[in-house]
Amino acid sequence: MKSELVPEGDLLAPDEQVSFQPAGPASYEDAFSAQQQKIQRLHEYYNQVVAELLVVLNESEKEAA
């Protein structure tokens, strides 16, 4: 059966080996840890921004009263 999706010259012969090295658990853990740190920094930043906005809103309410 001939593949219509891949040109014939690009197909591998059955005896050709493909080098595939999946990422190990350590690299997944490192990536996950880095992602957690980014999320934590964003969470802290958003909390700070919300706190500053609340201060500004409270000040503007006091001035309006």
Domain regions of the chain by residue span: 26-65
Quick check: 42 pLDDT over 50? yes
For residue 39, the number of C-alpha atoms closer than 13 Å in the C-beta half-sphere is: 6
Average confidence score pLDDT of the chain: 81
- Is pLDDT larger for residue 52 or for residue 7? 52
Q: What is the pTM of this model?
A: 0.55
Measure CA 42 to chain center. Answer: 13
At a CB cut-off of 8 Å and minimum separation 6, what does 19 contact? none
Report how far residue 47's alpha carbon sits from residue 52's, in angstroms, rounded to the nearest whole number. 9
Q: What is the pLDDT of residue 43?
A: 96
pLDDT over 90 for what percent of the chain?
Answer: 45
47 and 53 Cβ atoms separated by less than 8 Å: no
**Mean pLDDT highest for which of 26-30, 51-55, 61-65?**
51-55
Look at residues 35, 31, 32 and name the one whose alpha carbon lies nearest to residue 43.
Answer: 35
Q: Is 19 or 57 the better-scoring residue by pLDDT?
A: 57
